[in-house]
Amino acid sequence: MLVPLSWYIILSAVIFSIGVFGFLARRNLIIMFISIELMLNSVNISLAAFSHYLQVMRGQILVFFVITVAAAEAAIGLAILIAYYKNNPTIKVDEINLLKG
């Protein structure tokens, strides 16, 4: 049975929404980080689905770039997180409030 395109797009939209919700509602930096990865991967699902149904390769090319950039982003993000944690051991967003006004 062929899975229709709309299923993929709905799946992608649902996962993206879960990611947005997780980023905005959860107060733990690691969970927020995972939410961002969720959002990026939901985009990958829709790009791959569109690319397959339209028979245009550009979407799949972009998927590879997104995966690569997401890896670089994870490396930099975790490095920043560790640099922060060394000086200020907390990963709760509410306690990150040195800068405000």
Partner 1 sequence: MDFGAGFSLIDIRPLTPEITMICTGLILLLLDLVVKKKEAIAVLGIIGTIVAIFATYRLYAFNETRSIFLEMFALDGYANFFKIIFYINVILTICISFRYMKIEKASIGEYYALLMFATTGMMIMASAADLIVLYLGLELMALSTYILAGLMRKQRKSNEAALKYFFLGAFSSAFLLYGISLTFGLTGTTNIQDIAGLVSSLSIADNAIMHLAVVFLIVAFGFKIALVPFHMWAPDVYEGAPTSITAFMSVGPKAAGFAVLGRVLFEAFGDMQIMWSSILVPLSILTMAVGSIIALAQTNIKRMLAYSSVAHAGYILLGIIAGTTDGLISSVNYLMIYMFMNMGAFAIVIMLRSEGFQGEELEDYKGLAKTNPAAAALMLVFMFSLTGIPPTAGFIGKFYVIMEAINAGDMYLAITAVVFSVISAFFYLRVVMYMYMNDPKETVILTKSPSMTFALALTTVMVLVLGVFPSVLLNLVRSSIIS
How many angstroms separate the CA atoms of 28 and 9, rounded?
29
20 closest CA partner among 6, 48, 40: 40
33 lies in the binding site for partner 1 (CB under 8 A): yes
66 lies in the binding site for partner 1 (CB under 8 A): yes
How many angstroms separate the CA atoms of 3 and 90, rounded?
45
Question: Which residue from 11, 31, 34, 81 is in contact with partner 1, where contact means CB under 8 A?
Answer: 81
- The H or E element that residue 80 is part of is helix 58-87
Which residues of this chain interact with partner 1, rule CB under 8 A? 9, 12, 16, 19, 23, 29, 32-33, 36, 39-40, 42-43, 46-47, 50-51, 54, 56, 58-59, 61-62, 65-66, 69, 72-73, 76-77, 79-81, 83-84, 87-88, 96, 98-101
